[in-house]
Amino acid sequence: MARNRKVTVSTDVHGHTTGWAETEPAPPVAPNPRAAAFFDVDNTMMQGASIYWFARGLAARNYFTTADLARFAWQQLRFRLLAREHAGDMSQAKEAALAFIEGWRVEDIERLAEEIFDELMAPRIWTGTRRLAQGHLDAGERVWLVSAAPVEIGRVIAARLNLTGAIGTVAEVVDGAYTGRLVGDLMHGPVKAEAVTALAAVEGLDLSRCSAYSDSANDLPMLSAVGRAVAVNPDTALLRQARQRGWEVRDFRTGRRAIKIAVPSTAAAGLVAGAVTAGMALQRRRRGDRPSGERRPVR
């Protein structure tokens, strides 16, 4: 796919930084330029967490061992069951994001994300949610993914789904490689609402004419920022809020709600667990005791 892309980084009056990346080629001028739709990714657009499937793809390519992946899954399960979504855990999640991508080249992340999307993520896209997104596109509206994943990974997913682009966590890049530092905050909770508001100001959107979709009560700020909020495959807390506020509810699961426990979507879960596996992999590469056949990312 083309490597040229529009990437925007914006800082608001409070010093918060966000970024978004449009897919290429850019879509034609929309007949409804003031409206857009914003879709959360994990358990909203796809079954499970995108960072988990990305980690599985890396394990399959021997970037770390299956034992590391098992620890990754256990950490996700533990965070989900304990519902540890408070400030301390989000601080750990931010550190995890740094560990996960430090030293990797942007082109390698994008290449691997493309491969892993086709292999593991595409079969797990919720058909119903994809149909909702297509409805907005057919109406001439732009459609953006909003994810805690690095914005480059979000852009790959958006490109594969023929969407407008993605809003995601911005990682600092120097000479084409990630430094291990974030630019701004992890794209989670209230930060998503701030990012959507910032993008709307730049793109000339009227948020009262926009829609937002999510499965998690963590995204209540984003859902509340737009004129139409839709709970998709909602967790218990979001379902309760949706009923109280009269929001539309769409559930594309087939009765196996345990899937949200098996492959959770919380930002803290995916990113903190990602740090565990990534840290192990980095240690092995530095010590030279990589698993047989491991392919080291180009640095």
Task: Give per-residue pLDDT as tens, 275-291.
Answer: 434 444 444 444 444 33
Active centre residues (catalytic): 40, 42
How confident is the model over 215-260, as pLDDT tens digits?
999 999 999 999 999 999 999 999 999 999 999 999 999 754 433 4
Give the model's pLDDT for residue 20.
67
How confident is the model over 61-88, as pLDDT tens digits?
887 666 766 665 665 555 444 434 444 4
Distance, in Å, from the CA atom of 295 to the CA atom of 114, rounded to the nearest integer, reads 17
| Residue-by-residue DSSP string for the chain | -----EEEEEE-TT--EEEEEE-SSPPPPPSSTT-EEEEE-BTTTBSS-HHHHHHHHHHHTTSS-HHHHHHHHHHHHHHHHHT--SHHHHHHHHHHHHHHHTT-BHHHHHHHHHHHIIIIIGGGB-HHHHHHHHHHHHTT-EEEEEEEEEHHHHHHHHHHTT-SEEEEE-EEEETTEEEEEESS--S-THHHHHHHHHHHHHHT--GGG-EEEES-GGGHHHHHTSSEEEEES--HHHHHHHHHHT-EEE----S-TTHHHHS---HHHHHHHHHHHHHHHHHHHHHT-PPTT--PPP-
Q: How confident is the model at residue 131 (pLDDT cuts 50, 70, 90)?
A: very high
Q: Are 211 and 231 in contact (CB under 8 A)?
A: no
Distance, in Å, from the CA atom of 54 to the CA atom of 60, rounded to the nearest integer, reads 10
Give the model's pLDDT for residue 286.
41
The pTM for the full model equals 0.77
Give the model's pLDDT for residue 232.
97
The percentage of the chain sitting over the pLDDT mark of 70, rounded to a whole number, equals: 63
Burial of 81 (0-12, 13-18, 19+ CB in 10 A): exposed
